[in-house]
Each structure stands twice: as C-alpha cells, then as structure tokens.
Structure 1
Amino acid sequence: MAKVLSLILGGGKGTRLYPLTQSRSKPAVPFGGKFRLVDIPISNCINSGFRQIYILTQFNSASLHTHINTTYKFDNFSKGFIEILAAEQTFEHDSWYEGTADAVRKNFQHYASLEPDYYLILSGDQLYKMDLESFLDEHIKNGADVSIASTPVTRRAANDLGIVKIDETGKIIEFHEKPGPDKDISDLKIPPSQSDGSDKEYLASMGIYIFNASAMEEGLDNKDSDFGKQIIPSMISTKNVHAYTYKGYWEDIGKISDFFDATLNLATPVPQFNLYDEENPIYTKQRDLPPSKINSCTINSSLATEGSIITDSYISNSVIGIRTIIDSGATLDGVYCMGADRYETLAEKEENRRRGIPNIGIGSGSIIKGAIIDKDVRIGSACRIGVDKMDRKDGSYENYHIIDGIIVIPKKTVIPDGTII
C-alpha cells in the first residue's frame, strides 16, 4: 500500500480576508457557522484514507493550533496523526517561511524519517470535496513524477490563477501563473479531445499537488520559494508532470466577497457545497452544545447552528453561527453571523447594563443586511446596518469595514444602541 504524507499549508497573512484575519490565520477563519476553513482539506484527507497529516503554520497561528489540538485525535492503532509544524529557527536556517515550497523544504527534517512514497500538498483555505485516493491512483497510472489537481475555468477566472497547458494525454507542457486580463493565452486552451464544449476553456491549478518522494526532494534542492511560480514551471521540462482534471465545485477563498458568497450559498435549497453528505462529512470540533432555540421566528433559506437562541426575529438568506443570541424584533437578510465563543452569565449581563454596553449578540429591533459579523460582537438595540440608502464606500471606519460592498464587523466590536451604518 502506497504511503502518503499530506502537508497542509496554512501559513500566509491572508491580507485579502482582513479583518477576518486580524487575529487569526486564514485557515482558522470560521466557516459555515461551525467549521473552520482548515477542516475542509483535513476532512478530504481523512475521507480518502490519508491519515498522516502535517499542518505547516506561521502567521497568527495560535487559534489554528488550538483548533487542531482540541479537534483531531486518532486512536493508537491507526498510525494516523495530525501534527502542527510551526515555523522555527534552527542551526540550518533562521528565517520565516518565504513561500509554499520554502515551508515544505524547511521541514524535511521532521518527516523524512517517515519515508513516504508520495507527498500530497494541499492549501488550508479552499472549499471543495475531492476523492484524493482517485487523484493518487491516476498519478500512479500515468507514471507521473508530479501531478497537479486542475479545474476547468473561464477566461475571466483565469486572470488570477495558475493556468496549465496540457497535451492530448493530460501531460502538462506549459504553466503560466496569473496571466491577467490583457495577455493572449488562447494557445493554452484545453485540447478539443479533453474539452466538454463549455465556456470553461482553460485548466487552472488548484494548488493541490502529488509528488513522488524522489521528485519532491529533487525539486526542492534549490532556493526557490514557491511551488506555483518557480518549482512547478521548472520541473515541467525535466519531469513527467500531469494534470488531474477535477470538475466538481471548487472555490479558492481569496477575498471577502468569495468568502461571503460561498458562505451564504450554503443556505440555498441546493447549495454548491454539500454539508449533508454522510459518505464524506466535514469534521470539526465537538462542542456538546444544546440545540438551537427558535422562539416565534420567520426563517427562510438560512442555517442556524447549535447553541443559538433566536427570538421573534426575521432571518433570510443568512448563516447563524454557534451560540448566537438574537433578541426580539431583529431582522437579518444576507448576513453571516459567526456567533460567540461562550455564553455570558446573568452577572455579566447585569455588568453590561451598568456599563451601558450591549450583550454579546444582536439586540432587539436591529436590522442588518449584507454583512459579516465576526465572533463575540455586541450589537445594540435598534441598530440599522446596511439597510438605509447611503453612500457606502469601501474602506476602514471606526468600528467596521466595507470590503467589496460588504459590511464587516470585526471580532469583539461593540456597536452601540441606535447605530446606523
């Protein structure tokens, strides 16, 4: 049986998801009301039978470490593990990870002793479900040194992705990183024999790779720092590099609007990403929370995760995260509310009243539209957020941000009673 070591990259700053990444790494951003983005690649690995997993971390990683350590534990007999490899200084190097390839290279000392046959490289911030075992089977069948999971995309989507050119057998013969809108890339189109005739005429790298162990060691025997920009293009001329075409749903959570749209899509009647697949579940931390309590509400095309208490409210096209408290008369339309890390006690609520600040949650009579509300936010009563016609320009403001036209309220922010945004 082939021995596969999975390496999930969780290191970058995630600046395009700021302020959600202000105090956490991108893979640790809460998704779907109860998950973290990193749960997606981990679950894909587990569901495919790949249970030797390292998470490579660097930036704002404390909450990610806590989540991994309190969530994933294998039994003593499976030989499986999920371990964190944080950036560290050694006698050989004293710098931070300088890119995806550099992160893998600097950790060889930790996993070389496992002697894997194959390395599976995954990103910690993408949304998809893939049978990674089938990916490995095709890699072996093709006799490939390196295989790149690739998905068909339109010309417009190709602007910001790595585009691969393949021959009739699926072998990659060119790789172009983020060609942009002005460059003529018509010669990179999928061969007619491989095309499905749709407007998705190009193959984009998903940033998911399988390397033979020897190819990995040889490919990283240099100072190049990035797989997509340097390592992969240089190996195409010297190694057998194949594309594995994946035609299922895949979303690279690159910016706030991508994250917002993917989250709210979960609440549609037929979501693109299926959370209800019993054969391929998404794993996350078991919290042992009570069921959500819904008191005299109207709820339409929405998700309400466990531990929430929603009273006499109207909720539409929204995702309500764990332990969310929504008071009487509130209205949410197109909102992702991440919830809270704990419940406030009666004594704490009395102290809030004395200090004149709202409780954690959404106050009575508040109306919110088109917003992301991070964890432990306090929104007072009779607030109007994203509702009134007004000139809302993208930018950072006193206690909120507007990004891609979406109002983002950062973690632990206090929004006083009657605030209009």
Structure 2
Amino acid sequence: MINNKVLSIILGGGQGSRLYPLTESRSKPAVPIAGKYRLVDIPISNCINADIKRIFVLTQFNSASLNRHIKDTYHFSFFSSAFVDVLAAEQTPANKGWFQGTADAVRQSMHHFLRHDFEYALILSGDQLYQMDYDLMVEAHIASNAEISIATIPVNAKDATSFGILKANDENVVTSFIEKPDASLLPEWTSEVSDDMKHQGRNYLASMGIYIFNRKLLVDLMNDPSTIDFGKEIIPQSIEAHKTLSYQYEGYWTDIGNIDSFFEANIGLTDDIPKFDLYDKSKRIYTRARMLPTSKILGTTLNKAVIAEGCIISAAKIEQSVIGVRSRIGNESTVINTYMMGCDYYETLEEIENYRIKILMGIGERCFIKNAIIDKNCRIGDDVRINGGKHLEDKETDMYVIKEGIVVIKKGATIPVGYVI
C-alpha cells in the first residue's frame, strides 16, 4: 500500500502570539475548537482517514496539555506500526537551541524520523481547519514523478498578499514562487484555475503549507543548516533544481492564524450548512473519548447553536454560539455569537460547600454575553454583561483580552458579579 510508505510530520508552530491569550498556557495545536476537539485533531484525523498512521507532532511551547491529549486520545493496536508521537524541542550536543523555523524543526528532529522506513514525508501545519484526502495528493505526487509537492488553494487578490503565491505550467509543475507579493505585482501571478474559482475571483495559487518530500531529497535539503523555513527558503530555492508539483485543492480551508480567524471558524460551525462539515462519515474528526452524559437543556430558546455533551443549560436564549463540553449556563442568561469552550471537570456539591465557592464554573444567572470567546474553566458571576464589538478598543487585563472587538476571557478567569465589559 502507498500509505505505508508515508511518514506524517505535523508542525506545531511557534509561540502562537497572534492567538494569545488562548496560547498563554497551551501550544497552538492544543487550542480547543468546535466545543470538543483540539486543533491538532484536524491534521491527525485527516491522516487517519487517509490510512496514514505514523505521525509525529513537533512542538516547543507549552506542550504539556498537547502531550496529555495525544496520549489519552490516539491508541492503536499493539500489533500495528501505527503511532502518534509528540516531539518537543530538545537540546542535544548538535542542537543547543529552540526550533528557529519550520525547516529547522524538521532538521532537528530528523534522527527520530530516520529510524522509520518511509519513502515520502508528508509535512503538515498544526493550526489549520480543513478536510483533505492526503492519499489523493500522495498518488498525484507519485504519478507525476515529483520530488516535492505543494498543496495549493486558489485565493483572491486581497488574500494573495498574505500567502506564498506560485505559478504552475499545464502539467501542474511549479515554475515560480513569491512570498507575500505586493499588490502591484499580482497581475503577473495569475494561474489557471477552475471556472468556479474564476467566478469567485480566486485566480492566484496560494501555498497551504502542506508539502510532500521524497525521503532522499528531504535528507539532502536538511543537511544545509542555513535554511530554517520551508515557505521562505526551502521551497523557493528548490523549484528550479527539483521537480515540484502543485496539487490544487478547492475545498474549505482556513489558516487559524489569529483570534479573528479562530472566532470566525468556530462561529461558522453554526451555519445551516457549515463549510467545515463535522457530519461527513468519510471524513470523521477524531478526539478524546470522554464518556460524558448527554446535555440537559431547561427552558432555553436555541437558534443556530452547537452544543457539546455534558452541558447543563438553563439560559433564556443561545443564538449563533458554540457551547463546549461540561458547560453550565444559569437561568435567564443570553449568549449570542459566542464560543464557550467549556470545562475540564465538574464541580461537586461537596466541593462547592467545603470550599465556599461563590462563583461557580460556567456562566451565572441573568448574564448577557455577546461576541466573546470564553476559555476553559472560567467563572462568570451573576448579572455580568459582556458586549463585544468593533466599538471596543484593544485591551488586556488579568481577566480578559479584547482583540478586533472580540472579548476573550482568559482560561480559569473569574469575572465578578455584575461586571460589565
């Protein structure tokens, strides 16, 4: 089987400063999405669905919760060669520092990869939301006798300036590449795309940061310590010397690069027909099996709400919101256009009594919450009013951060009774 020849390498990203404060105590791939998953579940699930089951996840910042999630989630048969392993940056006699970029992360971890028998390395990002058939990309790579393949997606002129843009010939072989081109250069960088993409004005091929390398070439390229990034150095420098295939993908894909895109991707799950389909049996998203009870909802008006398991909800109204596992929302509260991540555990009546807990985990009574992200294990007191929107200036306190009008309540924060944001 072709997929037995593929080793998958998922890049966990850097410090994730643009996703702060969600990355204050966890790495980017460990950030919770859709109420019950983690970002890293997306590329891992895509691999499993493509029957690629030898997977490394590379990370260096706040990797404890990611380690725990992967250890608790991905178990394969003892008689299988399948695994999902986390490789955190480590100091060795040869490498004294942190990962300096995507290529440097792969270089520093190569001794782990080379212990395995593989012909093709599939290199993925750990912070993107999409469902893709990697096996089709691998087949196209082999059929074209390529040494490198790049997954590409058509984008419009506005977005093109934020990506690496490439041009390909009639056989989808990449002929040129430019990183984040100036808008004035774009007329020279249009590519042949499908009629549907043309109608949408998406005439530029952007790199998705998804690559396939032949093993020998990857080993050779990693011998040059001066190259530290795939997008900025390895790819542009390799196009002329090595046959590089553009593999066009036209499905839903978003790069979870900042709070705004993260918020939009999660709230988008409440659409009548979401662009990211969690209900496709052939493209399942796997995550930790928590064995939680069903959610209980009392007297709540629900409209465009995604509610995970284990919740206890008595709110007046929940609209266009994603409510995560073990969430509690009190009487007469209203939640609109909000992503509530939920809780890691339940508080027992004994704990509440013994520790005299006045503000319980979850949202209290008579609250109004709009345009917000509520991180895990937060306590929001009764009569709290959070009204996010463009009218708010960017701001940070011990309890919350405001970015682009979105109010992000920090993990484990307590918002006092009657507080107004």
TM-score relative to the length of structure 1: 0.96
Secondary structure of 1:54's aligned partner: strand
Distance change (3 Å), C-alpha of 1:72 and 1:339: same
Secondary structure of 1:229's aligned partner: helix
Structure 2, unmatched stretches of 5+, are: none
Summarize the alignment of residues 61-100 of structure 1 with structure 2, pairs less than 5 Å apart. 61-100=63-102
- Counterpart in the other structure of 2:154: 152
* Residue 94 of structure 1, CA deviation: 1.2
- Counterpart in the other structure of 1:413: 413
The answer to whether the Cα contact below 8 Å between 1:379 and 1:417 also exists between their aligned partners in 2 is yes
The answer to whether the Cα contact below 8 Å between 2:13 and 2:127 also exists between their aligned partners in 1 is no
The answer to whether the Cα contact below 8 Å between 1:291 and 1:307 also exists between their aligned partners in 2 is yes
* Residue 111 of structure 1, CA deviation: 1.6
C-alpha separation between the residues in 2 aligned to 1:317 and 1:191?
A: 37
* Residue 113 of structure 1, CA deviation: 2.3
The answer to whether the Cα contact below 8 Å between 2:150 and 2:212 also exists between their aligned partners in 1 is yes
- Counterpart in the other structure of 2:249: 246
C-alpha separation between the residues in 2 aligned to 1:276 and 1:322?
A: 18
C-alpha separation between the residues in 2 aligned to 1:55 and 1:138?
A: 24
Secondary structure of 1:7's aligned partner: strand
- Counterpart in the other structure of 1:393: 393
* Residue 350 of structure 1, CA deviation: 2.6
- Counterpart in the other structure of 1:265: 268
C-alpha separation between the residues in 2 aligned to 1:68 and 1:192?
A: 38
The answer to whether the Cα contact below 8 Å between 1:382 and 1:417 also exists between their aligned partners in 2 is yes
Secondary structure of 1:197's aligned partner: helix
C-alpha separation between the residues in 2 aligned to 1:189 and 1:174?
A: 12
The answer to whether the Cα contact below 8 Å between 1:24 and 1:64 also exists between their aligned partners in 2 is yes
- Counterpart in the other structure of 1:48: 50
Deviates more, 1:279-288 or 1:164-173: 164-173
* Residue 196 of structure 1, CA deviation: 4.3
Give the letter aligned to residue 297 of structure 1: T
Summarize the alignment of residues 269-418 of structure 1 with structure 2, pairs less than 5 Å apart. 269-351=272-354, 354=356, 357-386=358-387, 391-418=391-418
* Residue 100 of structure 1, CA deviation: 0.5
The answer to whether the Cα contact below 8 Å between 2:193 and 2:203 also exists between their aligned partners in 1 is no
The answer to whether the Cα contact below 8 Å between 1:5 and 1:120 also exists between their aligned partners in 2 is yes
The answer to whether the Cα contact below 8 Å between 2:154 and 2:197 also exists between their aligned partners in 1 is no
Structure 1, unmatched stretches of 5+, are: none
1:122-152 CA distance string (max 9 Å, x none): 0001000000000000001111000000000
* Residue 398 of structure 1, CA deviation: 4.2
* Residue 67 of structure 1, CA deviation: 0.4
* Residue 183 of structure 1, CA deviation: 3.8
Amino-acid identity (%): 48
- Counterpart in the other structure of 1:32: 34
Summarize the alignment of residues 98-247 of structure 1 with structure 2, pairs less than 5 Å apart. 98-180=100-182, 182-191=183-192, 196-198=197-199, 199-223=201-225, 224-247=227-250
* Residue 31 of structure 1, CA deviation: 0.1
TM-score relative to the length of structure 2: 0.96
The answer to whether the Cα contact below 8 Å between 2:154 and 2:193 also exists between their aligned partners in 1 is no
